[in-house]
């Protein structure tokens, strides 16, 4: 695979700070993903083990520990291979090879999860038939949450007004994309699409995230209706919605910065500072997710023990047989549009509901619009 690539001496690779700066954009997410999936078995609900409903006590057995150990070893191996491929690609100045490293890790982690799930399925336990419900409407964020969600859009609109007021300061042609060597390789012109394109992209991304945040607060199932379990779930939903709001501000500030650079061509983009800030942001999110746990399982001792009840496992109130490969939920008889993930943390769509496909279509449209804008406004060198 790498026979055609130029090689670099070890001394050049290890002593070249520019090379390390180039590998950072690939190494940071690869390492973060490896750390996240290392902790994955510890952040799911106590009676959900590799997307299978089990007795809560199963986690403490030798078989469960063996499954976790094999899973973590495979995650480390595939993550190491992904890092090695990415490093070779950057050292050889081949931009597509590092992406192959990311693909290797993704495929390897997925394969490790499916193997662990297969080994867990013989220990599956039927969930309790007991159901809880409440007639009291649950809190959904309120005015403060709505005010916070308006902030990213205000940032983008303010940036658009600033660019309109400084239109003449924008050069006729300016760089908008840089390669692995730090040199610009994508350009745009002083046009509506070229100048306002990044802001529109940011607007679409924020709108998509806000829609999903609304769904988490209004369209998700309450597994527990009272007690510490209900409190943990409420806090979990608020944490998830808060993370999405933070993502909105993150994207709004990024695309606001890209927009403002149009009117200040003398300013060099500080890519190193941007990468450092992105890594810190992702790291903080991972810490929050791990400390929270799926469904609020890790928020407190009460949250960690809430599944240890006499009637047996509760799970997430979704049938095991409706999960395809433990990742895709398809249940026409379930009115919920969003359900808790069993692979990862957060929520996923119930693909058995037409509303879920409509929501997916809106998400894909929100992703396609920025791509079209980028193709229209960016020109190769």
For residue 88, give the nearest of 30, 96, 271 by alpha carbon: 96
Tokens encoding 83:
């890092």
Query: DSSP string spanning 170-212?
Result: S-SEEEEEE-TTS-EEEEEESSHHHHHHHHHHHHHHHHHHHHH
Contacts 24+ apart (CB under 8 A), 59-63: 63/123
CA distance between the termini of the chain: 28
- What are the sequence ranges of the domains in the chain? 10-123, 142-380
Alpha-carbon span 186 to 126, nearest angstrom: 56
**8 Å CB contact between 294 and 341:** yes
According to DSSP, the residues that pair with 220 across neighbouring strands are 338
At 135 the pLDDT is 59
Contact 251, 155 (CB under 8 A): no
Which of 223, 179, 206 has its CA nearest to residue 334? 223
pTM of the model: 0.77
Tokens of 162: 């600033």
Those residues with Cβ within 8 angstroms of residue 61's Cβ, 6 or more apart along the chain or in another chain: none
Question: What is the model's pLDDT at position 14?
Answer: 45
Residue 55, beta-bridge partner list: none
Give the span between the Cα atoms of 312 and 293, in whole angstroms: 20
* Ramachandran class of 124: left when φ > 0, alpha when ψ lies in -120 to 50, beta otherwise: beta
Q: pLDDT per position in the chain (381 positions), as tens?
A: 334 434 444 434 444 444 555 666 677 778 888 988 998 888 888 889 999 999 888 988 999 999 999 999 999 999 999 989 988 887 777 777 888 888 999 999 999 999 999 999 999 988 877 766 665 666 666 666 678 888 999 999 998 888 888 888 877 777 766 655 556 666 777 777 777 888 888 888 888 888 888 888 888 888 877 777 778 888 888 888 889 999 999 988 888 877 666 666 555 556 666 667 777 888 888 888 888 888 888 875 544 554 445 556 788 889 999 999 999 999 999 988 899 999 888 899 999 999 899 888 887 877 777 666 666 555 444
C-alpha 276/C-alpha 102 separation (Å) is 19
Q: What is the pLDDT of residue 183?
A: 64
HEC assignment per residue over 219-286: CECCCCCCHHHHHHHHHHHHHHHHHHHHHHHHHHHHHHHHHHHHCCCCCCCCHHHHHHHHHHHHHHHH
Q: CA-CA distance, 304 to 342, in Å (whole number)?
A: 17
């Amino acid at each position: 695979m790498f026979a055609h690539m130029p090689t670099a001496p070890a001394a050049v690779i290890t002593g070249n700070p520019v090379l390390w700066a180039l590998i950072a954009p690939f190494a940071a997410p690869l390492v973060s993903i490896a750390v996240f999936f290392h902790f994955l078995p510890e952040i799911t609900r106590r009676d959900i083990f590799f997307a299978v409903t089990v007795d809560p006590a199963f986690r403490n057995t030798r078989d469960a520990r063996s499954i976790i150990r094999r899973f973590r070893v495979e995650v480390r191996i595939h993550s190491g291979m992904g890092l090695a491929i990415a490093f070779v690609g950057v050292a050889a100045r081949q931009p597509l090879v590092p992406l192959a490293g990311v693909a290797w890790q993704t495929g390897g982690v997925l394969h490790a999860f499916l193997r662990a799930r297969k080994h867990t399925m013989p220990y599956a336990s039927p969930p309790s038939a007991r159901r809880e419900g409440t007639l009291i409407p649950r809190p959904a964020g309120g005015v403060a949450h709505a005010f916070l969600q308006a902030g990213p859009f205000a940032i983008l609109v303010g940036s658009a007004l600033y660019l309109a007021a400084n239109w003449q300061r924008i050069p006729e042609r300016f760089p908008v994309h840089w390669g692995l060597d730090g040199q610009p390789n994508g350009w745009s012109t002083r046009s509506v699409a070229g100048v306002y394109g990044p802001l529109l992209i940011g607007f679409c991304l924020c709108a998509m995230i806000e829609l999903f945040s609304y769904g988490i607060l209004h369209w998700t199932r309450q597994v527990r209706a009272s007690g510490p379990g209900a409190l943990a779930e409420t806090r979990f939903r608020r944490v998830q919605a808060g993370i999405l709001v933070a993502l909105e501000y993150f994207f709004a500030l990024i695309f606001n910065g890209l927009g403002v650079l149009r009117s200040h061509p003398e300013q060099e983009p500080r890519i190193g500072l941007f990468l450092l800030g992105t890594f810190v942001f992702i790291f903080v999110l991972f810490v929050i997710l791990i400390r929270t746990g799926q469904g609020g399982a890790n928020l407190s001792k009460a949250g960690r023990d809430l599944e240890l009840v006499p009637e047996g496992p509760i799970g997430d109130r979704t049938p095991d047989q409706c999960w395809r490969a433990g990742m895709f939920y398809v249940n026409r008889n379930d009115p919920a549009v969003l359900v808790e993930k069993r692979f990862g943390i957060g929520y996923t769509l119930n693909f058995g509901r037409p509303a879920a496909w409509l929501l997916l279509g809106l998400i894909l449209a929100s992703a396609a619009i920025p791509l079209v804008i980028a193709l229209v406004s960016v020109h190769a060198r």
